[in-house]
Amino acid sequence: MLIIGTREGQALIKASRKDEIISSINGYLKSQGHTPLLTNGTENHLHLFLKMKDEPSLDALAKDIKIQIARQYNRRHPGSARLVWTKDYAAFSYSPSQIPEVMHYLQNEDLHHQRYSFEEEFLMFLRKFGVAHDPAKVFPYLQASVKPGKKSRIQKMQEGLVLRLF
């Protein structure tokens, strides 16, 4: 599964255009020989659950998707807010036996985000997969303008975060 987010977690994926973006991503994946299983997300990120062919590298694929889809979207909608992705991405691997469980999770993405933010979800994925991380570096925009003696949003999230993924 590949996870891509919008720049600084901005709400750039409008509900009215989400299906268009997902369709474009799935079409691009198919045109490159990959098999999209399910693509879903919210206003500030998308999960691309797919079977990759061997080439190109995951890094190249993530970069190409973000460039191609943003370029295509921004050309189609010149008067709208520009679709801009973060430079980074995350990727997680699943065994074939886990496919139904992951599909079920992604189909309910809107429900998950009624309870927790993309940032919280992302940190849960990192914990589930044992990825060492510094939340302040993962989401530096959440550290901005923290008053001395106060906890940042990321610190509060870390303290209250429990593993709630499938």
Kindly report, residue by residue over 38-52, the tens digit of the pLDDT: 999 999 999 999 999
Query: Can you name the residues that pair with 3 across neighbouring β-strands?
Result: 47, 90
pLDDT of residue 113: 85
Contacts of 103 (CB under 8 A, 6+ apart): 37, 38, 49
Can you give the CATH number for the domain in which 33 is found?
A: 3.30.70.1290
Question: Cβ-count burial of 99 within 10 angstroms (0-12 exposed, 13-18 middle, 19+ buried)?
Answer: middle
Q: Is residue 58 part of a domain?
A: yes
Mean pLDDT of the chain: 87
CA atoms of 83 and 69, how far apart (whole Å): 9
With respect to residue 29, please indicate whether it lies within any of the assigned structural domains: yes
- Statement to judge: residues 67 and 146 lie in one domain: no
The alpha carbons of the chain give a radius of gyration, in whole angstroms, of 16
Q: What is the pLDDT of residues 1-46, one digit of tens each?
A: 999 999 999 999 999 999 999 999 999 999 999 999 999 999 999 9
Domain count, the chain: 2
Q: What CA–CA distance (Å, rounded) separates 51 from 103?
A: 13
Mark whether 90 and 128 lie in a shared domain. no
If asked whether residues 8 and 79 sit together in one domain, one would say yes
- Does residue 40 share a domain with residue 71? yes
Expressed as residue numbers, the domain containing 15 is 2-96
Task: Name which of 96, 83, 2 is nearest 41 in CA terms.
Answer: 2
**pLDDT score at 42:** 94
State the average pLDDT over residues 58-74.
96
